[in-house]
Structure 1
Amino acid sequence: MSGSAEVRQFLLRCEGGDTGSGGLGGVPSQRAGHADAPRVSDDQVRRARLAVAAGARDAEDCAQLLDMLGLVPDDEGQIPAQR
């Protein structure tokens, strides 16, 4: 599963979900290719970071969760969830 799909699923769980997006139970289905894939916006990344920070036990837990979700910039400054 790609990082951006994981972020969308995370945001859907935090915001109560959107059953109109297709997929089973409101969970987005796997995309076939990257050309038609909608990008994760800067606002979505910001909200995801805030949700992670709110649910983290401490700073180390927060850093690990952000890294696992692709919300930490890589060496080139790109957010993996937005690729």
Structure 2
Amino acid sequence: MSGSVEVRQFLLRYEGADGGVPSQRGGHADAPRVSDDQVRRARMAVAAGATDAEDCAQLLDMLGLIPDEDGQNPAQR
């Protein structure tokens, strides 16, 4: 994203019912897990919006979409 206006527009599109920013998922055992397909689609979306390879790698890392030493994506824990 190239500016604060775009960020605000993104947040407005994904507001919760209470008008705020969506809350972070809890670490509850009954919480739905992120599927492998969701991770693949998220990686593709990040790659499509990245400005270059370094930007893409940094965004994927920040979002937990790069496998750790154990081969598991942090987003799927």
**2:52 counterpart residue number:** 58
Output the amino acid matched with 1:76: D
Matches within 5 A, 1:20-31: 23-25=17-19, 28-31=22-25
How does the TM-score come out when normalised to structure 2?
0.69
Would you say the 8 A contact 1:70–1:79 is kept in 2? yes
Q: Helix, strand or coil for the counterpart of 1:46?
A: helix
Quick check: which has more Rg, 1 or 2? Answer: 2
Unaligned stretches of 5+ residues in structure 2: 1-9
**How far did residue 27 of structure 1 move?**
5.9
Q: Which runs of 5+ in 1 are unaligned?
A: 1-12
Paired residues, number: 66
Match of 1:40 in 2: 34
The runs of at least 4 aligned residues of structure 1 exceeding 6 Å deviation read: none
Q: Indicate the RMSD between aligned Cα atoms, in angstroms.
A: 2.4
Write the distance in 2 (CA, Å) between the matches of 1:28 and 1:41: 20
